[in-house]
Amino acid sequence: MKVDQVLNVLKAALGEGLAHTEVRVRRVGAKAPVELKEIWAEIDRDAIVPAVAALKALGPLHMSVISGQDAGERIELLYHIAVGYGTEGGEVMVTLRLAVPKDDARVPSICHLIPGAETTEREKIEFLGVEFVGIPDSRHVFLPDDLPVHPWRKDEPEMERFLRRMVEWEGKDG
Amino acid sequence: MSGVHLVWQAAAVMVGSGVVGLVYKGLDRKLAARMQARVGPPLRQPFLDLGKLLMKETVVPRDAVGWLFSAMPFLAAVASFTALLYLPWGPFPPILRGYGDAVLVLYLLAVPALAMALGGFASGSPLATVGGQREIVMLMSYEFPLAVALVGVVWRLRALEVGPAFSLATISANPLWTAVGPLGVFGLAILLGCLLVVTPAELSKIPFDIPEAETEIAGGLMVEYSGTYLALFYLADAVKTVAMAALVVTLFIPYGIAAPLGVKGVGGQVLDVAFFLVKVFVVMFAAVTTVRVAMARFKVDQVVRGFWLQITAAAVAGLVLLVLDKAVMG
Amino acid sequence: MAEAENTFRIPIGPIHPALKEPIRLSFQVEGERIVGVEIRTGFAHRGIEYMGMRRNLIQVLYLAERICGICSISHPIALTQAVEQAAGIEVPPRAQYIRVIISELERIHSHLLWAGVAAHELGFDTLLHLTWKVREKVLDILEELTGNRINYAIPIYGGVRRDIAPDQHPKVQDTIRYYRGLLDELLDTFLRDPSVEARTRGVGVLEPEEADALCAVGPTARASGLAKDVRQDRPYLAYGELGVKAITPRDWGLEPRGDVYDKIVVRLLEVGQSLDLIERALLEMPDGEITSFPKIPALLAHLKKAHGEGLGWHEAPRGEVIHYVRLEAGVEEPVVWKVKAPTYSNLMSWEPMFEGQEIADIPIIAASIDPCICCMDRVHMVRDGSEATMHKEELLRLSREKTRRITDHGSRITGLGGVR
């Protein structure tokens, strides 16, 4: 799998939906370092499904994880996807970045394309309060079902109080 | 035999077998540990365990059928001890020889397993329920080869016309190996093999510890038992181990050592009892300790298939050989 | 379900002898057969990423190391690579080789640990004790090289914290020889034992299509025949030069079936692969610096100025670990830190593996992905049967009450077992 090939496929599939792409180079190896390229792309929210579909058509696909950040007014999600495992050095790491406004934090789910993405999508629901449209199961994974806060949201006044109370009690144990 | 005589003899056997059972359990654990490259617990560990369990609080779960749950440990312990009263101890004939025979011993050995299964069902825990189902299935699968092995010996003995064939005293007094022909020796060897395979199953030891399977159902049948009740099951298990090994010894290796050595009187009797205990230990070591060290746990369907097909076939083959032997020897 | 009255629920966990860590598997069973499973995680969630986003990067490194005791080098390796990419730090060649050596040693100890656990789940305790006995040797060499049996504290941003001295080389080579001699014996005991085969063949099958769709990683995916290994697919550190090939059951001359047996095959063969890698790495390791920032304050200052984001990955013994880090100039702590542990990816493969199996197979199937719950779960909360969260005050009150109850009348051996 070549980086250009992946880029072209993404461009063809997304068109306008692909806001920005960047190829980052990583020097890998100790004695004779080689350059390893990875793709970082910014896409529209609705472009995530066609993007993943295009990558899936390209070769064996591995969904690593979705990471996310509360960036003030928006919530940013980064899909870390690797295309083309099975050959030596043949895998290309693609990071798709998309942002959703906080008052409308909805993203289409990619579970129908990659069933294995369910755990990580569910995790984003509980930690960032993002809604994934079309996810087969939206229960919490790691946090208790009745936890009122989304811990990675920075506008959660409840979280600070919650934490302070736990830390205070922690101190009284010894 | 006078009643008083009977009582003190029975008491001696019960206390003795309890102690022997626990000592053997300690030996079993120590030897298994050495074979697994571990240090292992001290020999008196089973006594310490029993003492500690007796001191602990006995909890009856809220969902349990109380009386059944509480009665079963006693039933298991009583049945295990009673089985010993029907077994000969080396030179001494069974204490209750006039009141029951080999078939009764088989029933008595099945009672602790049934008691454990009932207690498990009564405890209301789903894990114990699974354990109970497994115990019953196991019981159904190993009883048949066990019965065939016993019947084989008894039937051949009857043909020799040496007394009441089902009496364990008769069986113990008339070693079959020398009384039968080469076919019979072969048949007996097969039956002994079957019995040795059945022994760990009867005692629920690895690879047949399916009803308790710690890693699967967290102790299964025993999961809700604690304190005194657990101590009783613990004791019943130790005693049943001795009883089962003693049954194998009685059926297949009932030889004494005093007579060939020419020791007579009390000394001879002591020597024979000691030799009997050694034989019991050897059987336990061969059928329980080494097997549980060398194998993984089977699944219940694998066990059932094995016992109903292979082991039963082998037992029946042994029986057929004995029948042929009778025909040849006349 | 048509036969709903014939099925009943068996809870395995959160605390259960088959599980070394808390997770709840709720099985719907029909007799001995499993017809459904529900997985609930989060019992070991400690909010490590949350904590990390409130600490400086050096502290985060130590926190990463404590995500899991068994993969205690995998997380730091992934994290340092992510930070190095974000901050533009070069790693000296020698340091890369040292990271490889330590992480391969960890793989050996982790796979041996797993083999022992697997044997225990099968009820084969002798094999457990023997495997764990031979595992001591690799822990000894790890202690010799790093000072610790686990939590090695070796990688740091820009290099490693300890060198491998020339007089330590023979000790490492000794260890390699020891395991070379032992490996055949291990393969023989595990793969040719009829009772192990009877319990693992055809049990907990994960079809290759399922493994691919569910994004399984590590030996779980490789046992199904997928040649998926981060060291091979996306080379990093010195792995590209050392040449790593993903190991599947084909290397043992078997067509992959994806069952537990195949998972044993893959893990044991990987022990051999790690031995080769360590030997080569030790031989080819260049001389030179072991870190580009010998002074921690200088490193911290550099990291504080850094602005950027990075991804770091590593093939942990259980599969792909991936860390994402974003740094902002002028801020000491990472703005974003996302950790993905292998079990996180393998969690969903449990469902197809459990379906249609027997209760007796639960422990070994659960163990077959080598679950590392603490890695995956990373709020300290305890729940009772009800849906309400039990807070810590309440829990503390309950436990004190219990202590009082026991010391007042329950225990007859006060002074020994009783708590005062």
C130 close to A (CB below 8 A): no
Measured at the CA of A119, the angle between CA A114 and CA A121, to 5 degrees, comes to 75
CA Rg value for chain C: 23
Chain B residue closest to C18 (CA)?
B215
pLDDT band at C107 (very low <50, low <70, confident <90, very high): very high
B256 close to C (CB below 8 A): no
In this predicted structure, the answer to whether residue C212 has a pLDDT above a threshold of 80 is: yes
- Note the pLDDT of residue B305: 87
- Note the pLDDT of residue C275: 92
Question: What is the pLDDT averaged over residues A86-96?
Answer: 86
Question: What is the pLDDT averaged over residues C270-283?
Answer: 91
Mention every residue, 6+ apart, whose C-beta is less than 8 A from residue C292: C89, C90, C91, C92, C158, C159
> Contact A143/C345, CB-based, under 8 Å?
no
| Selected residue of C182, C195, C405, C416 to mutate for chain B interface (largest B Cβ count, 10 A) | C195
Q: What residues of chain C lie within 8 A of the CB of B304, using their CB? A: none
Instruction: Tell me the DSSP string of C114-134.
Output: HHHHHHHHTT-HHHHHHHHHH
> Contact C359/B38, CB-based, under 8 Å?
no
- Note the pLDDT of residue B56: 86
Strands A74-83 and C24-30: unpaired
Among B226, B231, B237, B228, residue whose Cα is nearest residue B204: B237
In this predicted structure, the answer to whether residue C418 has a pLDDT above a threshold of 50 is: no
| Selected residue of B35, B215, B304 to mutate for chain C interface (largest C Cβ count, 10 A) | B215
- Note the pLDDT of residue C382: 36
**Cα B270 to Cα C195: distance, rounded to the nearest angstrom:** 42
Domain count within chain A: 1
Question: What is the pLDDT averaged over residues C215-227?
Answer: 89
How far is the alpha carbon of C128 from chain A, nearest alpha carbon, in Å? 31
* A-C C-beta contacts closer than 8 Å: 150
Please state the separation of Cα A33 from the chain's center in Å.
29
Classify A128 as helix, strand or coil.
helix
Mention every residue, 6+ apart, whose C-beta is less than 8 A from residue C275: C108, C176, C179, C180, C183
Residue C59: CB atoms within 10 A of its CB come to 14
> Contact C217/A62, CB-based, under 8 Å?
yes
The token pair at C67 is 């995500």
pLDDT band at C405 (very low <50, low <70, confident <90, very high): low
> Contact B293/C130, CB-based, under 8 Å?
no
- Note the pLDDT of residue C380: 36
Residue A81: give its domain's CATH number: 3.30.460.80
> Contact C93/A65, CB-based, under 8 Å?
no
pLDDT band at C105 (very low <50, low <70, confident <90, very high): very high
Chain C residue closest to A118 (CA)?
C348
Measured at the CA of C21, the angle between CA C19 and CA C25, to 5 degrees, comes to 55
In this predicted structure, the answer to whether residue C413 has a pLDDT above a threshold of 50 is: no
Q: Are A105 and A130 in contact (CB under 8 A)?
A: yes
In this predicted structure, the answer to whether residue A26 has a pLDDT above a threshold of 60 is: yes
How far is residue B132 from each of residues B161, C33, C343, measured CA to CA in Å?
Answer: 42, 16, 34
- Note the pLDDT of residue B215: 67
Classify B11 as helix, strand or coil.
helix
Q: What residues of chain A lie within 8 A of the CB of C237, using their CB? A: 28, 30
CB nearest to B35's CB, from C11, C126, C362: C126
- Note the pLDDT of residue C126: 84
Q: Provide the domain limits for residue A163.
A: 3-171
ipTM over 0.90: no
**Cα A121 to Cα A111: distance, rounded to the nearest angstrom:** 9
> Contact C121/B129, CB-based, under 8 Å?
no
Contact residues, C window 96-115, toward A, CB-based 8 Å cutoff: 96-97
**Cα C21 to Cα C44: distance, rounded to the nearest angstrom:** 8
Domain count within chain B: 1
- Note the pLDDT of residue B256: 73
- Note the pLDDT of residue C411: 43
- Note the pLDDT of residue C375: 62
Question: What is the pLDDT averaged over residues C184-211?
Answer: 85
> Which helix (H) or strand (E) element contains residue A25?
strand A18-28
**Cα A145 to Cα C285: distance, rounded to the nearest angstrom:** 51
Nearest-10 Cα torsion for B67, B69, B75, B76: 180
CB nearest to C10's CB, from B36, B57, B126: B126
pLDDT tens digits for range C349-371: 888 888 888 877 777 777 777 67
- Note the pLDDT of residue C103: 92
Q: Where are the beta strands (DSSP E) in C341-398?
A: 382-383, 389-390
Q: What residues of chain C lie within 8 A of the CB of B207, using their CB? A: 123, 195
Tell me whether the omega of the peptide bond preceding residue B94 falls within 30 degrees of 0, making it cis: no
C350 close to A (CB below 8 A): no
Stretches where chain B sits below pLDDT 70 are 1, 97-98, 165, 213-216, 330
**Cα A59 to Cα A2: distance, rounded to the nearest angstrom:** 11
| Selected residue of B127, B137, B216 to mutate for chain C interface (largest C Cβ count, 10 A) | B216
pLDDT tens digits for range C4-32: 567 778 777 777 777 777 788 888 888 77
Please give the single-letter amino acid code of residue A87: T
pTM of the full predicted structure? 0.81
pLDDT band at C387 (very low <50, low <70, confident <90, very high): very low
- Note the pLDDT of residue C394: 67
* B-C C-beta contacts closer than 8 Å: 85
Q: What residues of chain C lie within 8 A of the CB of A93, using their CB? A: 234, 311
pLDDT band at C108 (very low <50, low <70, confident <90, very high): very high
The token pair at C284 is 């080819």
Least confident of A155-169, C45-59, C259-273, C315-329: A155-169
How far is the alpha carbon of B313 from chain C, nearest alpha carbon, in Å? 21
> Contact C32/B214, CB-based, under 8 Å?
no
How far is the alpha carbon of C238 from chain A, nearest alpha carbon, in Å? 5
Among B133, B84, B7, residue whose Cα is nearest residue B277: B84
- Note the pLDDT of residue B48: 92
CB nearest to A93's CB, from C50, C311, C345: C311
**Cα B196 to Cα B191: distance, rounded to the nearest angstrom:** 9
- Note the pLDDT of residue C3: 45
CA dihedral for A45, A47, A50, A53, sign (positive or negative): negative
Q: What residues of chain B lie within 8 A of the CB of C11, using their CB? A: 126
Domains of chain C: 58-340 (1.10.645.10), 381-420 (no CATH)
B201 close to C (CB below 8 A): no
**Cα C220 to Cα C210: distance, rounded to the nearest angstrom:** 11
Question: What is the pLDDT averaged over residues A149-169?
Answer: 73
CB nearest to C41's CB, from A89, A116, A142: A142
Q: Provide the domain limits for residue B268.
A: 3-329
In this predicted structure, the answer to whether residue C1 has a pLDDT above a threshold of 80 is: no
Q: What residues of chain C lie within 8 A of the CB of A84, using their CB? A: 233
pLDDT tens digits for range C144-173: 888 888 888 889 998 898 888 898 899 999
Question: What is the pLDDT averaged over residues A102-129?
Answer: 88
CB nearest to C129's CB, from B38, B207, B214: B38
Least confident of A117-126, B59-68, B205-214, C256-265: B205-214
